[in-house]
Amino acid sequence: PQRMSCGYILCTVLLSVAVLLAVTVTGAILFMNHYHTPGTEPPPVISTNPEEANALVTIEKADSSRINIFIDPNCPDGAGTLGRLEGLQTSLLHTLTDHDAEAKATKSQQKALLVTVADEVAKLLTHAVQLRADCDGLKKGHSAMGQELSALQGEQGRLIQLLSESQTNMARLVSSVSDVLDTLQKARGARPRGCSNGSRPRDCFDIYVSGQQEDGIYSIFPTHYPSGFQVYCDMTTDGGGWTV
């Protein structure tokens, strides 16, 4: 590997020297080809040249090259010039006329476009006014709806209060009825009756089945209320045994 690296470096150096030498030689050759030794050249000779037709002067340079300057001895044609001027004037008039026509057409188109834009703007303004009116109506409707909802909430509160009062009154009524029943029982001096066999009836139907089939106040002992309470038993309607 060391020998290969040394050979690679040597080849690179030789190649660089060859390229540099080639560039130097090429530059020297080009410089020598384009380099001219400064010297004094004689001034050109300017003279008339009667040998060339219509030649005014001839300029002869130091390298024997000639430049001939010619003139046109013919006078210009006035009629042709006037004709060309008239043609140019006519063309210019046609161009101006076409330009005016195009300008008028453009103005008419712009005017029509402005009229159309004005109509559209008026329609948009009308639509905007209508939308604003609709928005105001919606706002009023929303406000009225809010008031209605508030009123409904107030009615709901009053209804809940009435229901609560009704429940309270119903509880009071039930308590009053129970008190009345107790008062009647005490006034009669009667003792609450149960089943004839001494069992604890769950309802008036158990009392009816035990053989007591007279209407009146009895004591029942439901499963959910084992201590019992007094009720009125209807023993005649639809076969009897109804707990009132």
Task: List pLDDT tens digits, range 189-241.
Answer: 444 565 656 678 999 999 999 988 899 999 999 988 888 899 999 999 999 99
Q: Cα separation of 135 and 131, whole Å?
A: 6
Q: Are 47 and 68 in contact (CB under 8 A)?
A: no
Is the model's pLDDT at 4 over the cut of 60?
no
For the entire predicted model, the pTM comes to 0.28
Residue 3 pLDDT: 53
Domain boundaries in the chain?
Answer: 130-190, 204-243
Residue 187 pLDDT: 55
How far from 47 is each of 41, 55, 64, 217, CA to CA, in Å? 18, 10, 14, 168
- Bigger pLDDT: 131 vs 56: 131
Is the model's pLDDT at 1 over the cut of 80?
no
233 Cβ neighbours under 8 A, 6+ residues apart: 204, 207, 208, 215, 216, 217, 218, 241, 242, 243, 244
In this structure, of 63-72, 121-130, 170-179, the range with the lowest mean pLDDT score is: 63-72
E strand or H helix at 59, and its extent?
Answer: strand 55-60
Is the model's pLDDT at 98 over the cut of 80?
yes
Average pLDDT over residues 110-117: 90
| The two structure tokens encoding residue 179 | 């008190």
